[in-house]
Structure 1
Amino acid sequence: MDALYAIILGIVEGITEYLPISSTGHLIVAGELFKGLQSTPWTKEMKDAFEVIIQGGAILAVLVYYWKDILKIRHIATDKAQQSLWSSVLIACIPAVILGAAFGSKIKHYLFTPSVVAWALIVGGVLIWIVESRKTTPEVHSIETIKPGKALLIGLVQCLALLWPGFSRSASSILGGMVLGLDRPTATQFSFYLGLITLGGASLLDLIKSRHIIGQIGGLNLALGIGVSFVVAYASIGWLLKFVSTNNFKPFAIYRVVVGALILVLIATGVLHNTNLS
Protein backbone atom coordinates (compact mmCIF):
# COMPACT_ATOMS: atom_id res chain seq x y z
CA MET A 1 0.00 0.00 0.00
CA ASP A 2 2.93 2.34 0.64
CA ALA A 3 3.99 1.73 -2.97
CA LEU A 4 0.58 2.86 -4.25
CA TYR A 5 0.80 5.96 -2.07
CA ALA A 6 4.27 6.68 -3.51
CA ILE A 7 2.99 6.27 -7.06
CA ILE A 8 0.04 8.61 -6.48
CA LEU A 9 2.24 11.34 -5.01
CA GLY A 10 4.72 10.83 -7.86
CA ILE A 11 1.93 11.38 -10.38
CA VAL A 12 0.70 14.48 -8.53
CA GLU A 13 4.22 15.92 -8.37
CA GLY A 14 4.92 15.19 -12.04
CA ILE A 15 1.70 16.76 -13.28
CA THR A 16 1.67 19.83 -11.08
CA GLU A 17 5.31 20.90 -10.73
CA TYR A 18 5.46 22.87 -13.98
CA LEU A 19 1.80 23.58 -14.63
CA PRO A 20 0.58 26.85 -13.05
CA ILE A 21 -1.57 25.05 -10.47
CA SER A 22 0.80 24.54 -7.47
CA SER A 23 2.58 21.28 -6.78
CA THR A 24 2.94 22.18 -3.10
CA GLY A 25 -0.77 22.73 -2.74
CA HIS A 26 -1.72 19.53 -4.51
CA LEU A 27 0.82 17.46 -2.57
CA ILE A 28 -0.42 18.83 0.75
CA VAL A 29 -4.01 17.93 -0.08
CA ALA A 30 -3.21 14.61 -1.84
CA GLY A 31 -1.00 13.53 1.06
CA GLU A 32 -3.89 14.09 3.45
CA LEU A 33 -6.58 12.52 1.26
CA PHE A 34 -4.58 9.34 0.48
CA LYS A 35 -2.79 8.83 3.79
CA GLY A 36 -5.09 5.86 4.43
CA LEU A 37 -3.09 3.94 1.81
CA GLN A 38 -0.05 3.85 4.09
CA SER A 39 0.49 0.47 5.71
CA THR A 40 1.78 2.33 8.75
CA PRO A 41 1.27 6.10 9.10
CA TRP A 42 4.22 8.13 7.83
CA THR A 43 5.53 10.80 10.14
CA LYS A 44 5.51 14.43 9.01
CA GLU A 45 9.28 14.21 8.55
CA MET A 46 8.95 11.14 6.30
CA LYS A 47 6.30 12.78 4.12
CA ASP A 48 8.32 16.01 3.82
CA ALA A 49 11.47 14.10 2.88
CA PHE A 50 9.61 11.99 0.33
CA GLU A 51 8.11 15.05 -1.37
CA VAL A 52 11.55 16.66 -1.59
CA ILE A 53 13.10 13.55 -3.10
CA ILE A 54 10.43 12.96 -5.75
CA GLN A 55 10.74 16.63 -6.72
CA GLY A 56 14.16 15.58 -7.98
CA GLY A 57 12.42 13.48 -10.63
CA ALA A 58 10.66 16.57 -11.96
CA ILE A 59 13.91 18.54 -11.98
CA LEU A 60 15.61 15.72 -13.90
CA ALA A 61 12.77 15.87 -16.45
CA VAL A 62 13.71 19.47 -17.34
CA LEU A 63 17.38 18.52 -17.65
CA VAL A 64 16.55 15.66 -20.01
CA TYR A 65 13.97 17.63 -22.02
CA TYR A 66 16.35 20.55 -22.59
CA TRP A 67 19.63 18.65 -22.49
CA LYS A 68 20.83 19.91 -25.88
CA ASP A 69 20.15 23.53 -24.94
CA ILE A 70 21.56 23.17 -21.43
CA LEU A 71 24.79 21.67 -22.76
CA LYS A 72 25.39 24.95 -24.59
CA ILE A 73 26.49 26.32 -21.22
CA ARG A 74 29.92 24.82 -21.94
CA HIS A 75 30.43 27.71 -24.37
CA ILE A 76 29.45 30.35 -21.83
CA ALA A 77 32.94 31.87 -21.76
CA THR A 78 32.58 33.01 -25.37
CA ASP A 79 28.83 32.81 -26.10
CA LYS A 80 27.08 36.08 -25.19
CA ALA A 81 23.63 34.51 -25.53
CA GLN A 82 24.53 31.90 -22.90
CA GLN A 83 26.03 34.56 -20.67
CA SER A 84 22.82 36.58 -20.91
CA LEU A 85 20.58 33.55 -20.29
CA TRP A 86 22.33 32.16 -17.23
CA SER A 87 23.03 35.53 -15.66
CA SER A 88 19.29 36.29 -15.94
CA VAL A 89 18.40 32.92 -14.41
CA LEU A 90 20.79 33.44 -11.48
CA ILE A 91 19.60 37.01 -10.90
CA ALA A 92 15.98 35.85 -10.89
CA CYS A 93 16.82 33.26 -8.20
CA ILE A 94 18.29 35.77 -5.75
CA PRO A 95 15.02 36.98 -4.13
CA ALA A 96 13.82 33.41 -3.46
CA VAL A 97 17.16 32.46 -1.89
CA ILE A 98 17.06 35.46 0.45
CA LEU A 99 13.41 35.09 1.44
CA GLY A 100 13.68 31.32 1.76
CA ALA A 101 16.61 31.61 4.13
CA ALA A 102 14.88 34.29 6.19
CA PHE A 103 11.29 33.04 6.38
CA GLY A 104 11.11 29.52 4.91
CA SER A 105 10.76 27.62 8.19
CA LYS A 106 8.22 30.08 9.63
CA ILE A 107 6.09 29.92 6.49
CA LYS A 108 6.05 26.11 6.65
CA HIS A 109 5.14 26.21 10.34
CA TYR A 110 2.26 28.68 10.09
CA LEU A 111 0.91 28.59 6.53
CA PHE A 112 1.00 25.00 5.27
CA THR A 113 -2.73 24.34 5.76
CA PRO A 114 -5.45 23.32 3.29
CA SER A 115 -7.37 26.59 3.71
CA VAL A 116 -4.30 28.70 2.91
CA VAL A 117 -3.68 26.53 -0.16
CA ALA A 118 -7.32 26.82 -1.23
CA TRP A 119 -7.33 30.63 -1.14
CA ALA A 120 -3.95 30.76 -2.90
CA LEU A 121 -5.39 28.64 -5.71
CA ILE A 122 -8.46 30.85 -5.99
CA VAL A 123 -6.63 34.18 -5.89
CA GLY A 124 -3.98 32.90 -8.29
CA GLY A 125 -6.70 31.77 -10.67
CA VAL A 126 -8.31 35.19 -10.64
CA LEU A 127 -4.94 36.85 -11.31
CA ILE A 128 -4.23 34.49 -14.22
CA TRP A 129 -7.59 35.43 -15.73
CA ILE A 130 -6.86 39.15 -15.30
CA VAL A 131 -3.39 38.90 -16.86
CA GLU A 132 -4.68 36.85 -19.79
CA SER A 133 -7.49 39.36 -20.39
CA ARG A 134 -5.11 42.25 -21.06
CA LYS A 135 -4.66 43.55 -24.58
CA THR A 136 -0.88 43.81 -24.91
CA THR A 137 1.81 42.92 -27.41
CA PRO A 138 4.77 40.91 -26.01
CA GLU A 139 8.20 42.35 -26.69
CA VAL A 140 10.45 39.48 -25.54
CA HIS A 141 10.39 36.29 -27.61
CA SER A 142 13.54 34.48 -26.49
CA ILE A 143 14.93 33.57 -23.07
CA GLU A 144 18.38 34.67 -24.23
CA THR A 145 17.16 38.27 -24.59
CA ILE A 146 15.68 38.73 -21.10
CA LYS A 147 17.36 41.73 -19.49
CA PRO A 148 18.72 41.54 -15.90
CA GLY A 149 16.16 44.06 -14.64
CA LYS A 150 13.24 42.02 -15.94
CA ALA A 151 14.82 38.84 -14.57
CA LEU A 152 15.06 40.36 -11.09
CA LEU A 153 11.42 41.46 -11.19
CA ILE A 154 10.33 37.99 -12.32
CA GLY A 155 12.31 36.58 -9.40
CA LEU A 156 10.52 38.92 -7.01
CA VAL A 157 7.11 37.88 -8.34
CA GLN A 158 8.18 34.23 -8.07
CA CYS A 159 8.45 34.78 -4.31
CA LEU A 160 4.64 34.88 -4.12
CA ALA A 161 4.80 31.09 -4.23
CA LEU A 162 7.26 31.04 -1.34
CA LEU A 163 5.28 33.46 0.80
CA TRP A 164 1.88 31.92 0.01
CA PRO A 165 1.82 28.09 -0.17
CA GLY A 166 -0.43 26.97 -2.98
CA PHE A 167 0.09 30.01 -5.20
CA SER A 168 2.46 28.05 -7.50
CA ARG A 169 6.04 28.87 -8.39
CA SER A 170 5.29 28.23 -12.05
CA ALA A 171 2.23 30.45 -12.03
CA SER A 172 3.98 33.34 -10.31
CA SER A 173 7.08 33.25 -12.52
CA ILE A 174 5.08 32.81 -15.74
CA LEU A 175 2.61 35.57 -14.82
CA GLY A 176 5.46 37.83 -13.80
CA GLY A 177 7.17 37.23 -17.11
CA MET A 178 4.04 37.91 -19.13
CA VAL A 179 3.29 41.14 -17.27
CA LEU A 180 6.85 42.26 -17.97
CA GLY A 181 6.53 41.69 -21.70
CA LEU A 182 7.58 38.08 -22.30
CA ASP A 183 5.41 36.11 -24.68
CA ARG A 184 3.68 33.05 -23.24
CA PRO A 185 6.09 30.35 -24.51
CA THR A 186 9.15 32.38 -23.45
CA ALA A 187 7.75 33.04 -19.97
CA THR A 188 6.97 29.33 -19.64
CA GLN A 189 10.44 28.21 -20.74
CA PHE A 190 12.13 30.74 -18.45
CA SER A 191 10.05 29.36 -15.58
CA PHE A 192 11.41 25.87 -16.35
CA TYR A 193 14.99 27.16 -16.22
CA LEU A 194 14.32 29.01 -12.97
CA GLY A 195 13.00 25.78 -11.52
CA LEU A 196 16.31 24.05 -12.17
CA ILE A 197 18.08 26.42 -9.78
CA THR A 198 15.40 27.33 -7.23
CA LEU A 199 13.90 23.85 -6.93
CA GLY A 200 17.25 22.11 -7.24
CA GLY A 201 18.88 24.21 -4.55
CA ALA A 202 15.95 24.02 -2.15
CA SER A 203 15.59 20.27 -2.67
CA LEU A 204 19.29 19.65 -2.07
CA LEU A 205 19.26 21.61 1.19
CA ASP A 206 16.10 19.88 2.43
CA LEU A 207 17.52 16.50 1.42
CA ILE A 208 20.67 17.10 3.45
CA LYS A 209 18.60 18.12 6.47
CA SER A 210 16.38 15.05 6.23
CA ARG A 211 18.96 12.44 5.17
CA HIS A 212 18.43 10.49 8.40
CA ILE A 213 14.77 9.92 7.43
CA ILE A 214 15.37 8.44 3.98
CA GLY A 215 15.93 4.88 5.19
CA GLN A 216 12.54 4.83 6.90
CA ILE A 217 10.69 5.52 3.64
CA GLY A 218 12.00 2.48 1.79
CA GLY A 219 14.03 2.11 -1.40
CA LEU A 220 11.11 0.82 -3.49
CA ASN A 221 8.89 3.72 -2.48
CA LEU A 222 11.62 6.22 -3.32
CA ALA A 223 12.36 4.60 -6.69
CA LEU A 224 8.67 4.55 -7.61
CA GLY A 225 8.11 8.15 -6.56
CA ILE A 226 11.15 9.48 -8.43
CA GLY A 227 10.53 7.38 -11.54
CA VAL A 228 6.85 8.23 -11.82
CA SER A 229 7.53 11.91 -11.12
CA PHE A 230 10.18 12.01 -13.87
CA VAL A 231 8.04 10.31 -16.53
CA VAL A 232 4.91 12.34 -15.79
CA ALA A 233 6.81 15.64 -15.48
CA TYR A 234 8.57 15.02 -18.81
CA ALA A 235 5.21 14.47 -20.49
CA SER A 236 3.75 17.53 -18.76
CA ILE A 237 6.56 19.78 -19.99
CA GLY A 238 6.06 18.73 -23.59
CA TRP A 239 2.30 19.07 -23.33
CA LEU A 240 2.45 22.51 -21.70
CA LEU A 241 4.85 23.93 -24.29
CA LYS A 242 2.60 22.69 -27.08
CA PHE A 243 -0.49 24.02 -25.30
CA VAL A 244 0.82 27.54 -24.71
CA SER A 245 1.91 27.87 -28.34
CA THR A 246 -1.75 28.10 -29.37
CA ASN A 247 -3.72 28.70 -26.14
CA ASN A 248 -3.79 30.99 -23.11
CA PHE A 249 -3.79 30.07 -19.42
CA LYS A 250 -7.48 30.78 -18.72
CA PRO A 251 -8.37 27.06 -18.45
CA PHE A 252 -5.87 26.81 -15.58
CA ALA A 253 -7.48 29.85 -13.95
CA ILE A 254 -10.85 28.09 -13.98
CA TYR A 255 -9.31 24.86 -12.70
CA ARG A 256 -7.62 26.65 -9.79
CA VAL A 257 -10.82 28.37 -8.68
CA VAL A 258 -12.80 25.12 -8.88
CA VAL A 259 -10.19 23.10 -6.96
CA GLY A 260 -9.75 25.85 -4.37
CA ALA A 261 -13.50 25.97 -3.79
CA LEU A 262 -13.62 22.15 -3.57
CA ILE A 263 -10.90 22.15 -0.91
CA LEU A 264 -12.90 24.67 1.14
CA VAL A 265 -15.96 22.41 0.85
CA LEU A 266 -13.92 19.39 1.97
CA ILE A 267 -12.71 21.36 4.98
CA ALA A 268 -16.25 22.50 5.83
CA THR A 269 -17.57 18.94 5.63
CA GLY A 270 -14.73 17.51 7.73
CA VAL A 271 -13.17 15.41 4.97
CA LEU A 272 -10.02 17.54 5.23
CA HIS A 273 -8.71 18.78 8.55
CA ASN A 274 -7.48 22.36 8.42
CA THR A 275 -4.32 21.70 10.38
CA ASN A 276 -0.69 22.30 9.52
CA LEU A 277 0.43 19.56 7.13
CA SER A 278 4.03 20.61 6.44
Structure 2
Amino acid sequence: MDNTLTAALLGLLEGVTEFLPVSSTGHLLLAGHFLGFESEGKTFEVVIQLGAIFALISVYAVLLARLILRARHEAAARRSILSLFLAFIPAVVIGLALHGFIKNVLFETPVLIAVMLILGGVVLLVIDRIAPRPVHFNALELPLRKSLAIGFCQCVAMIPGVSRSGATIVGALLMGVEKRAAAEFSFLLSLPTMGGAVALDLYKNREVLDFAAVWDIAIGFTVAFLTALVVVRWVLNYISRNGYALFGWWRIIVGAGALALLSLGF
Protein backbone atom coordinates (compact mmCIF):
# COMPACT_ATOMS: atom_id res chain seq x y z
CA MET A 1 0.00 0.00 0.00
CA ASP A 2 1.21 3.52 -0.81
CA ASN A 3 2.86 5.18 2.22
CA THR A 4 0.70 8.30 2.01
CA LEU A 5 -2.48 6.22 1.95
CA THR A 6 -1.21 4.09 4.84
CA ALA A 7 -0.37 7.24 6.84
CA ALA A 8 -3.86 8.64 6.22
CA LEU A 9 -5.48 5.33 7.19
CA LEU A 10 -3.51 5.07 10.43
CA GLY A 11 -4.20 8.73 11.22
CA LEU A 12 -7.92 8.06 10.69
CA LEU A 13 -7.71 5.00 12.93
CA GLU A 14 -5.95 6.99 15.67
CA GLY A 15 -8.45 9.84 15.51
CA VAL A 16 -11.49 7.56 15.58
CA THR A 17 -10.32 5.25 18.36
CA GLU A 18 -8.23 7.42 20.73
CA PHE A 19 -11.13 8.65 22.85
CA LEU A 20 -13.42 5.65 22.44
CA PRO A 21 -13.16 2.70 24.87
CA VAL A 22 -11.82 0.43 22.11
CA SER A 23 -8.01 0.83 22.47
CA SER A 24 -6.39 3.08 19.88
CA THR A 25 -2.99 1.54 20.64
CA GLY A 26 -4.33 -1.95 20.03
CA HIS A 27 -5.90 -0.90 16.74
CA LEU A 28 -2.74 0.89 15.56
CA LEU A 29 -0.44 -1.98 16.50
CA LEU A 30 -2.65 -4.58 14.81
CA ALA A 31 -3.09 -2.39 11.71
CA GLY A 32 0.67 -1.82 11.55
CA HIS A 33 1.26 -5.56 11.88
CA PHE A 34 -1.15 -6.54 9.09
CA LEU A 35 -0.09 -3.67 6.80
CA GLY A 36 3.61 -4.35 7.42
CA PHE A 37 4.09 -0.76 8.62
CA GLU A 38 6.60 0.24 11.29
CA SER A 39 8.45 3.51 11.65
CA GLU A 40 11.92 3.85 13.14
CA GLY A 41 11.60 4.48 16.88
CA LYS A 42 7.80 4.44 16.45
CA THR A 43 8.10 8.12 15.45
CA PHE A 44 4.99 8.08 13.28
CA GLU A 45 2.84 6.27 15.84
CA VAL A 46 3.94 8.65 18.61
CA VAL A 47 3.57 11.92 16.72
CA ILE A 48 0.09 11.25 15.32
CA GLN A 49 -1.13 10.85 18.91
CA LEU A 50 -0.31 14.54 19.32
CA GLY A 51 -2.96 15.25 16.69
CA ALA A 52 -5.60 13.62 18.91
CA ILE A 53 -4.28 15.44 21.99
CA PHE A 54 -4.47 18.83 20.24
CA ALA A 55 -8.03 18.03 19.12
CA LEU A 56 -9.06 17.39 22.72
CA ILE A 57 -7.32 20.55 23.92
CA SER A 58 -9.21 22.60 21.33
CA VAL A 59 -12.55 21.15 22.50
CA TYR A 60 -11.85 21.75 26.21
CA ALA A 61 -9.75 24.92 25.91
CA VAL A 62 -12.43 27.23 27.30
CA LEU A 63 -13.35 24.90 30.18
CA LEU A 64 -9.70 24.41 31.14
CA ALA A 65 -8.90 28.12 30.90
CA ARG A 66 -11.86 29.00 33.12
CA LEU A 67 -10.92 26.28 35.61
CA ILE A 68 -7.36 27.62 35.90
CA LEU A 69 -8.58 31.21 36.29
CA ARG A 70 -11.13 30.19 38.93
CA ALA A 71 -8.48 28.23 40.83
CA ARG A 72 -6.84 31.48 41.95
CA HIS A 73 -9.78 32.35 44.19
CA GLU A 74 -12.11 29.33 44.27
CA ALA A 75 -11.50 26.22 46.39
CA ALA A 76 -13.80 24.05 44.26
CA ALA A 77 -11.73 24.74 41.14
CA ARG A 78 -8.50 23.92 42.96
CA ARG A 79 -10.09 20.70 44.17
CA SER A 80 -11.04 19.76 40.58
CA ILE A 81 -7.44 20.24 39.45
CA LEU A 82 -6.20 18.19 42.42
CA SER A 83 -8.67 15.45 41.49
CA LEU A 84 -7.21 15.14 37.99
CA PHE A 85 -3.66 15.33 39.35
CA LEU A 86 -4.31 12.48 41.80
CA ALA A 87 -5.78 10.35 39.01
CA PHE A 88 -2.67 11.00 36.91
CA ILE A 89 -0.08 9.98 39.55
CA PRO A 90 -0.45 6.15 39.29
CA ALA A 91 0.23 6.26 35.54
CA VAL A 92 3.42 8.25 36.15
CA VAL A 93 4.79 5.87 38.76
CA ILE A 94 3.82 2.58 37.11
CA GLY A 95 4.48 3.83 33.56
CA LEU A 96 8.04 4.87 34.39
CA ALA A 97 8.71 1.60 36.20
CA LEU A 98 7.40 -0.68 33.44
CA HIS A 99 8.00 1.37 30.27
CA GLY A 100 10.67 -0.94 28.82
CA PHE A 101 8.68 -4.13 29.42
CA ILE A 102 5.50 -2.62 28.00
CA LYS A 103 7.13 -1.29 24.82
CA ASN A 104 9.51 -4.19 24.13
CA VAL A 105 7.37 -7.16 25.14
CA LEU A 106 3.65 -6.39 25.34
CA PHE A 107 3.60 -4.11 22.26
CA GLU A 108 5.18 -6.89 20.18
CA THR A 109 2.51 -9.51 20.93
CA PRO A 110 -0.44 -9.25 18.47
CA VAL A 111 -2.23 -12.27 19.96
CA LEU A 112 -2.25 -10.64 23.40
CA ILE A 113 -3.67 -7.44 21.91
CA ALA A 114 -6.48 -9.32 20.13
CA VAL A 115 -7.37 -11.28 23.26
CA MET A 116 -7.47 -8.13 25.38
CA LEU A 117 -9.74 -6.45 22.83
CA ILE A 118 -12.21 -9.33 23.19
CA LEU A 119 -12.03 -9.49 26.98
CA GLY A 120 -12.40 -5.73 27.25
CA GLY A 121 -15.45 -5.87 25.00
CA VAL A 122 -17.08 -8.47 27.24
CA VAL A 123 -16.34 -6.34 30.31
CA LEU A 124 -17.90 -3.27 28.68
CA LEU A 125 -21.05 -5.18 27.76
CA VAL A 126 -21.40 -6.52 31.31
CA ILE A 127 -20.64 -3.24 33.10
CA ASP A 128 -23.01 -1.34 30.83
CA ARG A 129 -25.79 -3.54 32.24
CA ILE A 130 -24.85 -4.00 35.89
CA ALA A 131 -23.19 -0.67 36.79
CA PRO A 132 -24.62 0.71 40.06
CA ARG A 133 -27.03 3.64 40.03
CA PRO A 134 -24.98 6.82 39.46
CA VAL A 135 -24.41 9.23 42.32
CA HIS A 136 -21.83 11.52 40.67
CA PHE A 137 -22.91 13.56 37.65
CA ASN A 138 -20.11 16.10 37.26
CA ALA A 139 -16.66 14.99 36.07
CA LEU A 140 -15.01 17.85 37.96
CA GLU A 141 -16.67 17.10 41.30
CA LEU A 142 -15.61 13.51 42.00
CA PRO A 143 -14.40 12.58 45.51
CA LEU A 144 -10.60 12.62 45.63
CA ARG A 145 -10.34 8.97 46.71
CA LYS A 146 -12.47 7.90 43.74
CA SER A 147 -10.35 9.98 41.36
CA LEU A 148 -7.22 8.24 42.66
CA ALA A 149 -8.90 4.83 42.30
CA ILE A 150 -9.84 5.65 38.68
CA GLY A 151 -6.19 6.55 38.13
CA PHE A 152 -5.16 3.06 39.20
CA CYS A 153 -7.81 1.60 36.88
CA GLN A 154 -6.23 3.57 34.03
CA CYS A 155 -2.92 1.75 34.59
CA VAL A 156 -4.48 -1.55 33.46
CA ALA A 157 -4.49 0.00 29.97
CA MET A 158 -0.71 -0.22 29.87
CA ILE A 159 -1.48 -3.69 28.50
CA PRO A 160 -2.11 -2.93 24.80
CA GLY A 161 -5.64 -3.76 23.76
CA VAL A 162 -7.20 -2.87 27.11
CA SER A 163 -7.96 0.81 26.26
CA ARG A 164 -7.05 3.73 28.50
CA SER A 165 -10.48 5.33 28.18
CA GLY A 166 -12.16 1.94 28.58
CA ALA A 167 -10.32 1.19 31.83
CA THR A 168 -11.04 4.60 33.34
CA ILE A 169 -14.68 4.56 32.25
CA VAL A 170 -15.32 1.07 33.63
CA GLY A 171 -13.68 2.03 36.91
CA ALA A 172 -15.73 5.23 37.11
CA LEU A 173 -19.00 3.44 36.33
CA LEU A 174 -18.36 0.89 39.09
CA MET A 175 -17.83 3.81 41.51
CA GLY A 176 -21.18 5.34 40.73
CA VAL A 177 -20.17 7.94 38.15
CA GLU A 178 -22.80 8.68 35.50
CA LYS A 179 -21.98 7.51 31.96
CA ARG A 180 -21.39 10.92 30.37
CA ALA A 181 -19.42 12.19 33.39
CA ALA A 182 -17.29 9.03 33.34
CA ALA A 183 -16.40 9.64 29.68
CA GLU A 184 -15.68 13.32 30.31
CA PHE A 185 -13.40 12.56 33.27
CA SER A 186 -11.59 10.05 31.05
CA PHE A 187 -11.13 12.72 28.36
CA LEU A 188 -9.75 15.27 30.81
CA LEU A 189 -7.45 12.72 32.43
CA SER A 190 -6.12 11.77 29.01
CA LEU A 191 -4.53 15.22 28.56
CA PRO A 192 -1.74 14.81 31.14
CA THR A 193 -1.60 11.03 30.65
CA MET A 194 -1.25 11.05 26.87
CA GLY A 195 0.92 14.15 26.90
CA GLY A 196 3.27 12.54 29.42
CA ALA A 197 3.32 9.23 27.52
CA VAL A 198 4.17 10.93 24.22
CA ALA A 199 6.89 13.03 25.86
CA LEU A 200 8.38 9.91 27.49
CA ASP A 201 8.30 7.98 24.21
CA LEU A 202 10.02 10.80 22.34
CA TYR A 203 12.67 11.08 25.05
CA LYS A 204 13.31 7.32 25.30
CA ASN A 205 13.61 7.04 21.50
CA ARG A 206 15.57 10.27 20.97
CA GLU A 207 18.60 8.41 19.61
CA VAL A 208 16.66 6.58 16.89
CA LEU A 209 13.92 9.07 16.01
CA ASP A 210 13.48 9.38 12.28
CA PHE A 211 11.61 12.38 10.90
CA ALA A 212 12.71 11.69 7.34
CA ALA A 213 9.17 10.77 6.30
CA VAL A 214 7.88 14.23 7.25
CA TRP A 215 5.07 14.13 4.67
CA ASP A 216 3.65 10.87 6.01
CA ILE A 217 3.85 12.15 9.60
CA ALA A 218 2.11 15.40 8.60
CA ILE A 219 -0.67 13.47 6.85
CA GLY A 220 -1.20 11.13 9.80
CA PHE A 221 -1.11 14.01 12.31
CA THR A 222 -3.63 16.11 10.37
CA VAL A 223 -6.06 13.27 9.77
CA ALA A 224 -5.85 12.21 13.43
CA PHE A 225 -6.52 15.80 14.57
CA LEU A 226 -9.54 16.35 12.34
CA THR A 227 -11.04 12.94 13.02
CA ALA A 228 -10.57 13.16 16.80
CA LEU A 229 -12.17 16.62 16.75
CA VAL A 230 -15.35 15.13 15.31
CA VAL A 231 -15.31 12.03 17.53
CA VAL A 232 -14.87 13.92 20.82
CA ARG A 233 -17.82 16.17 20.03
CA TRP A 234 -20.00 13.23 19.00
CA VAL A 235 -19.17 10.56 21.54
CA LEU A 236 -20.42 12.28 24.72
CA ASN A 237 -23.90 12.74 23.29
CA TYR A 238 -23.95 9.20 21.93
CA ILE A 239 -22.90 7.70 25.27
CA SER A 240 -25.48 9.76 27.16
CA ARG A 241 -28.26 8.28 25.01
CA ASN A 242 -26.99 4.76 24.26
CA GLY A 243 -24.31 3.67 26.72
CA TYR A 244 -21.28 1.55 25.83
CA ALA A 245 -22.67 -1.62 24.24
CA LEU A 246 -21.69 -0.57 20.69
CA PHE A 247 -18.05 -0.25 21.73
CA GLY A 248 -18.12 -3.60 23.50
CA TRP A 249 -19.31 -5.37 20.34
CA TRP A 250 -16.82 -3.37 18.25
CA ARG A 251 -13.94 -4.65 20.38
CA ILE A 252 -15.13 -8.25 20.23
CA ILE A 253 -15.52 -8.21 16.44
CA VAL A 254 -12.11 -6.57 15.84
CA GLY A 255 -10.36 -8.86 18.32
CA ALA A 256 -11.95 -12.01 16.89
CA GLY A 257 -11.12 -10.92 13.34
CA ALA A 258 -7.50 -10.28 14.29
CA LEU A 259 -7.20 -13.69 15.97
CA ALA A 260 -8.64 -15.35 12.86
CA LEU A 261 -6.09 -13.61 10.61
CA LEU A 262 -3.22 -14.41 12.96
CA SER A 263 -4.24 -18.07 13.05
CA LEU A 264 -4.03 -18.09 9.23
CA GLY A 265 -0.45 -16.86 9.40
CA PHE A 266 -0.92 -13.18 8.56
Deviation at 1:214, TM superposition (A): 4.5
Relative distance call for 1:267 and 1:165 in structure 2 (3 A) is same
1:54-93 aligned within 5 A: 54-72=48-66, 73-93=68-88
Give the Cα–Cα distance (whole angstroms) in 2 for the partners of residues 204 and 210 of structure 1.
10
**Which digits, 9 at most, give the CA deviation of each residue in 1:124-145, with x for residues without a partner?**
1111111111163200000221
1:98 aligned residue: 93
After superposition, the C-alpha distances for 1:57-115 in whole angstroms (9 at most, x for unaligned) are 10101110111101111231212232122111110011111111111211222222111
> Are positions 1:191 and 2:186 aligned together?
yes
1:149 paired residue number: 145
Instruction: Name the aligned partner's letter for residue 145 of structure 1.
Output: E
Q: The residue matched to 1:12 in structure 2 has which SS? A: helix
The count of corresponding residues between Structure 1 and Structure 2 is 263
Q: Residues of 2 paired with 1:161 and 1:259: CA distance?
A: 17
- 2:40–2:210 CA contact under 8 A, matched in 1: no
Q: 1:16 to 1:190 in 2, by over 3 A?
A: same
CA distance in 2, matches of 1:250, 1:217: 41
Could you list the per-position Cα deviations for residues 155-185 of structure 1 after superposition, in whole angstroms to 9, with x for gaps in the alignment?
01111101x2110001000111111111001
Partners of 1:139 and 1:60 in 2: how far apart?
31
Match in the other structure for 2:21: 20
2:43 corresponding residue in structure 1: 49
Whole-Å separation in 2 of the counterparts to 1:107 and 1:176: 22
1:226 matched residue in structure 2: 221
- Asked whether the equivalents of residues 84 and 146 of structure 1 are also in contact (C-alpha less than 8 Å), the reply is no
Does the aligned pair in 2 maintain the 1:50–1:217 contact within 8 Å? Answer: no
SS in 2 for 1:116: helix
What corresponds to 2:260 in structure 1?
A: 265
Measure, in 1, the Cα distance between the counterparts of 2:131 and 2:201: 41
**Aligned residue number for residue 5 of structure 1:** 6
Amino acid at match of 1:83: R
Opposite residue 55 of structure 1, the aligned amino acid is Q
Local SS of the residue matching 2:140:
helix
Q: Distance in 2 between matches of 1:213 and 1:228?
A: 25
Percent identity between the two aligned chains: 37
Q: Which amino acid aligns with 1:119?
A: V
1:125 corresponding residue in structure 2: 121
Q: Which amino acid aligns with 2:199?
A: L
Paired letter, 2:20: L
Q: Which amino acid aligns with 1:104?
A: H
Q: 1:127 & 1:114 partners in 2: Cα distance?
A: 20
Change (3 A) 1:133 1:99: same
Q: Give matches, 1:233-272, under 5 Å.
A: 233-271=228-266
Letter in 1 for 2:154: Q
Q: Which residue of 1 aligns with 2:134?
A: 138
Report the equivalent of 2:30. Answer: 29
**What is the RMSD of the two structures over their aligned residues, measured on CA atoms?**
1.5
| Structure 2, unaligned runs of 5 or more | none
Residue 213 of structure 1: how far off its partner (Å): 4.5
